[in-house]
């Protein structure tokens, strides 16, 4: 009959074998990881809304009693044409509704808001083709910037 020898782990083993043999070290490492995670969780910045930049210049013109088509032909096309060639503008959109129209010019990132605002205001003031019944255009700067 042959005798069976009990299986023993090799003495050299690796670092995992050493951790298994020494029960204190893995517990200390786990506690350090948990405490580090809890500490870092309190340091994370949370935002309900993401950070964004929204800079635009809006031109609103009232034209009581007119249809959207009349506003587009008589007012919005002139404003769009005057504004499109200006420096610092990314995109120009226009909206015509019953009795009023709006042209919105989005500014390029890093553009000088006040300079672009003044350029648009001057360009709109130079337009002489508005209908007589149209109200004076109102140019406004929309700047929504949030820094963290």
The upper half-sphere exposure of residue 2, i.e. CA atoms within 13 Å in the direction of its Cβ, equals: 3
Strand pairing category for 53-62 and 100-107: antiparallel
Looking at the structure, tell me whether residues 21 and 62 fall in a common domain. no
Phi, psi of 112 (to 5 degrees): -75, 105
Looking at the structure, tell me whether residues 57 and 129 fall in a common domain. yes
Q: Which pTM does this prediction carry?
A: 0.61
Separation CA 51–CA 148 (nearest Å): 8
Looking at the structure, tell me whether residues 112 and 140 fall in a common domain. yes
Per-residue pLDDT of the chain in tens (148 residues, 90 and over written 9): 566 656 655 566 777 787 777 878 888 889 999 999 999 988 888 767 666 667 899 999 999 999 999 999 999 999 999 998 899 999 999 999 999 999 999 998 888 889 999 999 999 999 998 888 999 999 998 866 555 4
Question: What's the DSSP call for residue 34?
Answer: H
Looking at the structure, tell me whether residues 37 and 101 fall in a common domain. no
Rg (CA), the chain: 34
Phi, psi of 59 (to 5 degrees): -115, 120
Looking at the structure, tell me whether residues 73 and 133 fall in a common domain. yes
Question: Under 8 Å CB-to-CB from 110, ≥6 apart: which residues?
Answer: none
- Which two three-digit tokens encode residue 45? 């910045």
pLDDT of residue 22: 81
134: three-class secondary structure by DSSP: coil
Look up the domain containing 110 and give its range: 53-145
In the chain, alpha helices (H):
15-21, 24-43, 68-71, 77-84, 113-125
Distances (CA, A) of 123 to 3, 7, 81: 103, 91, 10
- Which two three-digit tokens encode residue 85? 């060639």
pLDDT of residue 147: 52
> Looking at the domain assignment, is residue 107 inside a domain?
yes
How many structural domains does the chain have? 2
pLDDT of residue 14: 79
138-145 sheet: strands from edge to edge: 89-97, 100-107, 53-62, 138-145
């Amino acid at each position: 009959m042959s005798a069976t020898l009990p299986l023993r782990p090799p003495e050299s083993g690796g670092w995992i074998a050493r951790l298994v043999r020494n029960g204190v070290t893995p517990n200390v490492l786990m506690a350090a990881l948990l405490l580090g995670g809890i500490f870092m969780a309190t340091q994370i910045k949370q935002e309900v809304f993401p950070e964004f930049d929204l800079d635009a210049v809006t031109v609103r013109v009232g034209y009581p009693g007119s249809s959207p088509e009349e506003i587009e032909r008589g007012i919005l096309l002139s404003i769009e044409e005057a504004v499109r060639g200006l420096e610092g503008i990314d995109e120009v959109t226009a909206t015509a509704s019953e009795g009023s129209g709006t042209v919105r010019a989005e500014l390029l990132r890093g553009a000088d808001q006040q300079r672009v605002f003044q350029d648009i205001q001057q360009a709109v003031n130079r337009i002489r083709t508005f209908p007589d019944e149209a109200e004076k255009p109102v140019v406004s700067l929309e700047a929504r910037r949030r820094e963290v």
